Structure 1
Amino acid sequence: MVNCFGGRFVVTLLSVNVNKVAVLRNSRGAEEPRPLTAAACALAAGCHGITVHPRPDQRHIRATDVLQIAGIVGQAELNLEGNPFAAARDEYPGLLQLVRQSRAAQVTLVPDADAQITSDHGFDRDTDFPRLQAMIREYKACGARTSVFVDPGCTVIAELAGCGVDRIEIYTGPFALAYASGAFERELDACVVTADRARECGLGVNAGHDLSQANLATLLQAIPTLAEVSIGHALFAEALYAGLGVTVRNYLDIIRRCASAPGAGGARQSA
């Protein structure tokens, strides 16, 4: 989406998060559906980047997925999300090593633990910020833009800027939940205030979590200078419906072609 703000145009970039494809693949214990193929389809459709969020337990995106996807992004951007404090484990080499190997354009730091179903809060200023500053220098030395996941209404943006981050990513889950209920002004205002604080500190602003076709326009209208939105869960949920009819018709066509092929009837009878 292109927004006009203060006499200049800002293009909000779309990064498609393909984690949900990996969840579906892993539930079967096989190779399909492939996150790599989903990323390729999204890129072919015109998205500006791909987001992946590998965790140490590799319950969805794996380290091998990250490197495969990094090989196809081309001029688009790879946004690699993860917990900078999580140690390497088994086949998970650690976030910093993955950033180095994939040469991700952006790394989004998120304080998620293994027990969390999904990211749902920002970092703690007292316990996390002293460690973050040194880590951010390492990520930037890899050539990656650094973004930090923050709560809507976050009051420590200046401290994050002091740690050397380039952007923040506003957690939009509360806004999306409130939007679905019809009373979302307070949560939206919290996002706006956070974005304003970040811009005052010279930081770029991303947003993500539970954004959808239903609520995205409202967020973009309220924050016209958003640099990037990362969308995964809702996007693939919507794709299940929008693409299902075509897929069903393709299967029916295959069945009809096989049934009308020479010798099909005889083969059926002999069976």
Structure 2
Amino acid sequence: MTKLSVNINKIATLRNSRGGNTPNVVQFAKDVQEFGAQGVTIHPRPDERHIRYQDAYDLKSVVYTEYNIEGNPIPEFIDMVLKIKPTQVTLVPDAEDAITSNAGWDTLKHKGFLTEIIQEFKQNDIRTSVFLDPTLKQVEGSKAIGADRIELYTEAFAHQFSLGNKNAMIPYTECAERALQLDLGLNAGHDLSLENIQFFKENSPGLLEVSIGHALISESLYLGIDNVINMYLNKLK
């Protein structure tokens, strides 16, 4: 079964919009795990507009499933990850002013930079994943830099699937198959939803984990977080 990691950034966004500590990010992380999520994902950014760096530290003691911290490996981010030592770090090439992740790494262009960072994380027993567009050369480049896993950026698939174009899945399937050949673990995330997750799972051989936040939280406004998590789990079986 593919694991479901719930990205809780939107909960922090809601908290920050009002000040105070409601909704409580730490309590929410506890709850989603009790409801069946097999992981918690956060993506702190330098301006702390949703998840704050302090949240990352506060969550360390309560995430007993898989703790995944995503972000651009600027010095402050690297230092935080090395102190917390989450289950997994996912490297994302976000610009500081990006609203959300919008591109994967060029693992060929940034080979030296990424190799050095990945070696440091792996020496500290932190599983390392790199965020990629679905192209075979980037999958192969991820193997060359020593990554443990890749996370396929699924926005293009999700958009095309919503238009009825199921052929948009083809490059993702090809990358999944290549990752298996290279013994790279496979994760995926961005705009995956109850509408498209089962099709994506069924056509992604070896898919280990999906990280879902925006759609899952939005769906939960109507259906309830406990119910939605279990709906995802059923589709991922």
- After TM superposition, the score normalised by the length of structure 1 is 0.80
CA distance in structure 2 between the aligned counterparts of 1:224 and 1:197, rounded to whole angstroms: 10
Instruction: Trace 1:244-259 onto structure 2 (pairs within 5 A).
Output: none
Post-superposition Cα deviations, 1:121-161, rounded to whole Å, max 9, x if no partner, equal 11124542211101100111121101000002342322221
Which of 87, 91, 97 aligns to 1:109? It is: 91
**How many Å apart are 1:30 and its aligned residue?**
2.2
Structure 2: runs of 5+ lacking an equivalent: 226-237
Q: Aligned residue for 1:21?
A: 11
1:62 aligned to 2:52? yes
User: In the alignment, is the contact (CA less than 8 A) between 1:25 and 1:31 conserved in 2?
Assistant: yes
- The alpha-carbon distance between structure 1 residues 194 and 32, as it changes in their structure 2 partners (threshold 3 A), is same
CA distance in structure 2 between the aligned counterparts of 1:159 and 1:153, rounded to whole angstroms: 10
Instruction: Trace 1:1-271 onto structure 2 (pairs within 5 A).
Output: 11-74=1-64, 76-84=65-73, 86-87=74-75, 94-185=76-167, 187-243=168-224
Post-superposition Cα deviations, 1:190-249, rounded to whole Å, max 9, x if no partner, equal 1111111211111010000111111000001101420000011000001111139xxxxx
CA distance in structure 1 between the aligned counterparts of 2:111 and 2:206, rounded to whole angstroms: 26
Q: Aligned residue for 1:262?
A: none
Number of residue pairs matched by the alignment: 225
Q: Aligned residue for 1:255?
A: none
State the identity as a percent.
44
User: What amino acid does structure 2 have at the position aligned with 1:152?
Assistant: P
CA RMSD of aligned residues (A): 1.4
CA distance in structure 1 between the aligned counterparts of 2:203 and 2:32, rounded to whole angstroms: 26
CA distance in structure 1 between the aligned counterparts of 2:195 and 2:27, rounded to whole angstroms: 26
Structure 1 ranges of 4+ moved more than 4 A: none
**Match of 1:60, SS?**
coil
CA distance in structure 2 between the aligned counterparts of 1:163 and 1:126, rounded to whole angstroms: 9
